[in-house]
Amino acid sequence: MSVSNGPMPLHESYDPEADALYLQFYEGAILRQVEITPEIIVDEDADHRIIGIEILYPHRNWSIAQSWLARHGLSRS
């Protein structure tokens, strides 16, 4: 997985019914999904660029997601 400069998402969306937060970093076709945990899934394109990340139950998974984002140059406060 790789990222170029772009720590802030282009788009954020929250689905209250699913209790899911999605952070989109780039426009592009998603080639594969990588499961970081069963509740945190990363979308990648053909060049292994991180397109976005889905965080289920963000109230309990945010610290894990935040650590992962920081390690991949996508830190959020």
Whether 2 is in a domain gets the answer: no
Instruction: Return left, alpha or beta for 63; rule: phi > 0 is left, psi -120 to 50 is alpha, else beta.
Output: alpha
The parts of the chain modelled with pLDDT lower than 70 are 1-8, 75-77
| Reported pTM | 0.81
Query: Does some domain include residue 27?
Result: yes
DSSP class of residue 49 equals B
pLDDT at 14: 96
pLDDT of residue 3: 44
Q: Please tell me the predicted confidence (pLDDT) of residue 8.
A: 65
Smallest CA-to-CA distance from 4 within 48, 57, 40 is with 48
Q: Does residue 3 form part of some domain? A: no
Task: Let me know if residue 4 belongs to a domain.
Answer: no
The parent domain of residue 47 ranges over: 11-65
| pLDDT the model gives residue 75 | 66
Residue 23 lies in a domain: yes
Q: Domain count for the chain, please give it.
A: 1
pLDDT at residue 51 in the model: 93
On whether residue 70 sits in a domain, the answer given is no
